[in-house]
Amino acid sequence: MNLLSLSDWINLLLGAIQVLQDGFLHMLAALGLAQTSHGQPAWPFAERLSGDVLLIDRSIARQLLSALGFSVVALLALLIALVWRRGRVVMLLATIAIVFFTPWPDRHLLVAPAEPTSFHTSPTGFSVAAIVHGRQVYEQHCASCHAVDGKGDTPLALSLPVSPPNLASGLLWRRADGELFWKIAYGARDRHGAATMPGFTRQLADNDVWALIDFMKANAAGASIRAIGSWDQPVALPAGAGADDCSKQAAHGGGQRVRVILASARQSAALPLDDPRLRSVILADGALKLPAPQAGAPAIDCLSRSKDAWQALSIITGIDSDQLAGTQLLTDRDGWLRARKLPADSNGAWSESDILCRAPAYMEAGKSNKPGGLDGLIAAMDAEPVRFIKGGFVHATP
């Protein structure tokens, strides 16, 4: 049996911290004890539990895990004391000793400042419409400081006493969505209370702010591809990019690998055939016509002409929208975007090297005896699922 690694434990812990607090807030709301902020139950405290430090400093993670382990032992000893009369005194002493001597990490390491919206979830849910709308809002209100690409190096930004951070980095994934929301709505202040970034709650509706967050993530994903050739943060195929009006898709339901083929009218002839291992969707630009079905060759019959989807995928892949035709994207069964094929190699087959978001461990392990082509790529995706917890790991690290 494989014992869980430290990363697994930290992931579990991060998940538990999130679920517990979220559950607590929803219980308060169900009992009518929570106030409402921007349409969702408001977190009532100035602080919240946070696992961020656990990721940076593993010795603290170990200390917390062992303290929790000792607490479980203490609880067991207490239970035994309740039922085992003759050993009661010994067990009670043991309980007290464990509780007293367990070294807990400093509480300041485990809490972070919270906002009323800390546990809010985005109602826009990373959709193509939100990403495209978010871009408009961003260009109008944010790009003057944060720059169109999010790097924050505009002349205006450089003249500010506090420079904006690089939004095209992993920053947005480390923050709680609800706390990004709060920053954008109410701005940021430095230690002396002077405003460093203005708030936008008067100018923007709540949905504009959520759409901004979707856009900034899509934009950072594209920036990551341009800079390092891969998505170093998990990116989902946005809702609305998968041909919702497709008959076959409805029959299959979710949980499938999706291949999105971006095709322009020029390419009608060269469209790939359907493949039973994937659900294939053609995202067409302009007046593309599907080729007439040929006997014995299963054609793809899922077609979308969503302009928003085209724009959103252009942002996420970091490819200009007029260069995008011929690109193919592949998701895993959980809906994470994992692989990309560029038009230049559109005639060649898929291979494992098309994966853009993956764990370092798998890349090294047993290269020789793995299947090639699409099978190899699927095996690699399945072997290393994206495990993402806000502020947590993207992939398991060894």
SS3 112: strand
* Between 211 and 282, CB nearer to ligand HEC: 211
Tokens of 330: 């592949």
Q: How many CA atoms lie less than 13 Å away from 356 in the CB half-sphere?
A: 29
* Contact between residue 53 and residue 109 where contact means Cβ atoms under 8 Å apart: yes
* Smallest distance, ligand HEC to C-beta of residue 200, A: 5
Q: For residues 68 and 74, what is the distance between their CA atoms, to the nearest angstrom?
A: 10
| Kind of pairing between the strands at 337-341 and 188-189 | unpaired
* Smallest distance, ligand HEC to C-beta of residue 52, A: 12
* Between 113 and 198, CB nearer to ligand HEC: 198
* Between 216 and 258, CB nearer to ligand HEC: 216
CA angle 154, 157, 161 (to 5 degrees): 155
Task: Write the burial class of residue 342 (CB in 10 Å: 0-12 exposed, 13-18 middle, 19+ buried).
Answer: middle
* Between 154 and 268, CB nearer to ligand HEC: 154
Using the rule CB under 6 A, which residue among 180, 261, 284, 339 binds ligand HEC? 180
* Smallest distance, ligand HEC to C-beta of residue 51, A: 17
Q: Is 390 in the site for ligand HEC (CB under 6 A)?
A: no
Contacts of ligand HEC in 183-222 (CB under 6 A): 183-184, 188, 190, 196-198, 200, 212
Applying CB under 6 A, what is the total number of residues that bind ligand HEC?
21
Please name the residues in contact with 286: beta carbons below 8 A apart, sequence gap of 6 or more. 264, 265
* Between 145 and 278, CB nearer to ligand HEC: 145
Please name the residues in contact with 238: beta carbons below 8 A apart, sequence gap of 6 or more. 126, 127, 128, 130, 131, 214, 218, 309, 312, 313, 316
* Smallest distance, ligand HEC to C-beta of residue 142, A: 3
Of the candidate spans 178-186, 283-291, 345-353, 367-375, the one that interacts with ligand HEC by CB under 6 A turns out to be 178-186
Of the candidate spans 65-73, 158-166, 221-229, 336-344, the one that interacts with ligand HEC by CB under 6 A turns out to be 158-166
Whole-angstrom CA distances from 377 to 129, 310, 325, 340 are 30, 25, 22, 11
* Smallest distance, ligand HEC to C-beta of residue 210, A: 11
Query: Chain centroid to CA 341: how far?
Result: 22
* Between 134 and 272, CB nearer to ligand HEC: 134
Q: For residues 43 and 25, what is the distance between their CA atoms, to the nearest angstrom?
A: 7
SS3 content of the chain, % helix, strand, coil (to 5): 45, 10, 45
* Smallest distance, ligand HEC to C-beta of residue 140, A: 8
* Smallest distance, ligand HEC to C-beta of residue 38, A: 15
SS3 113: strand
* Between 145 and 357, CB nearer to ligand HEC: 145
* Smallest distance, ligand HEC to C-beta of residue 131, A: 13
* Contact between residue 296 and residue 232 where contact means Cβ atoms under 8 Å apart: no
Q: Is 54 in the site for ligand HEC (CB under 6 A)?
A: no
Written as one string, the DSSP assignment of 210-266 is HHHHHHHHHHHHHHHHHHHSS-SS--BPPBTSS-TT-HHHHHH-SSS-EEEEEEEGG
Contacts of ligand HEC in 86-145 (CB under 6 A): 141-142, 144-145
* Between 180 and 239, CB nearer to ligand HEC: 180
* Smallest distance, ligand HEC to C-beta of residue 10, A: 22
Q: For residues 164 and 157, what is the distance between their CA atoms, to the nearest angstrom?
A: 7
Of the candidate spans 114-122, 162-170, 291-299, 361-369, the one that interacts with ligand HEC by CB under 6 A turns out to be 162-170
* Smallest distance, ligand HEC to C-beta of residue 164, A: 4
- The binding site for ligand HEC (CB under 6 A) comprises 141-142, 144-146, 160, 162, 164-165, 167, 175, 180, 183-184, 188, 190, 196-198, 200, 212
